[in-house]
A = this chain, B = another copy of it.
Amino acid sequence: MKTQRVPEATINRLSVYSRFLERLDEKGIITVSSNDIAEGVGVSPPQVRKDLAYFGEFGTRGVGYNVQDLMRYTLKILGLNEPWPLLLVGAGNLGIALSSYYRGFNNRGFSVVGIFDNDLNKIGRKVGNLDVYPPEMMPEIINKHGVRVGVIAVPAKTAQDVADLMVKNGLDAILNFAPVSLNVPDHIVYRNVDLSVNLEILTFNLGLRESQIDTGNL
């Protein structure tokens, strides 16, 4: 078995396919073609087949894919066949929203099990059914729930400190919502999500369009 390097874009799409399949399954749909999936999520049909081919042969020629089977395969590939307890740092607005977002009906197995903040005004408060803890309690919560993934929802200034603390406490992966790029050791799986960047790509494209109209190009 030659393990080919899987493009990150493929993983990204796989996650989207997976959720699309969940919706089809809810609707009671049994079989789906690469064409259907492609149309449903806005990519090309060969793209869908190529992406799946990195992981195996899941379909039947002339027929398509079994929705439920393919859904389970994709979940398995993404590591979502088991629950993922999350540790969240930052009990501000974004932190509160993320904690309820990841607890939502569509949570795919993610759930925040501990919220942390070093603001004394926030420690001890309730966010949903969770208490806000001081940073010192991290090891206890990590141990109790077997947490491996930390989510950072603090301002840019303190994000690096939080990351360092998470690394020190043995977390394996960090999702950072602060608009800075952080330094973490190579063995940490790390990702930045930047909510502003997406808006700025939008405004860039609005500007682009206007200048195209100006010059008469399309």
Chain A contact residues, CB within 8 Å of chain B:
3, 8, 11-12, 14-16, 18-19, 23, 40-42, 77-80, 84, 86, 92-94, 96-98, 100-102, 105-108, 110, 148-149, 155-156, 172-173, 175, 179-181, 189, 191, 193-207, 209, 215, 217
The smallest C-beta distance from A48 to any residue of chain B, in angstroms, reads 13
- When distances are taken between beta carbons in the complex, the residues of chain B under 8 Å from A196 are 15, 19, 106-108, 110
- Asked if residues B206 and A189 are in contact (CB atoms below 8 Å), the reply is yes
Tell me whether A203 and B149 are in contact in the complex, defined as CB-CB below 8 angstroms, given that A191-B198, A196-B19, A209-B189 are known contacts: yes
Name the residue of chain B whose CB is nearest to the CB of A187.
B209
Other A-B pairs beyond A93-B101, A149-B203, 10, CB < 8 Å: A15-B196, A19-B179, A79-B203, A79-B204, A84-B199, A98-B195, A106-B179, A110-B196, A149-B202, A149-B206
Best-buried of A14, A106, A198 by chain B (most CB within 10 Å): A198
> Per a CB cutoff under 8 Å, which of B15, B189, B205 touches A197?
B15
The smallest C-beta distance from A107 to any residue of chain B, in angstroms, reads 8
Best-buried of A92, A180, A201 by chain B (most CB within 10 Å): A201
A78 to B203, CA, bound (A): 6
Tell me whether A205 and B181 are in contact in the complex, defined as CB-CB below 8 angstroms, given that A93-B97, A196-B110 are known contacts: no
- When distances are taken between beta carbons in the complex, the residues of chain B under 8 Å from A189 are 202, 205-206, 209
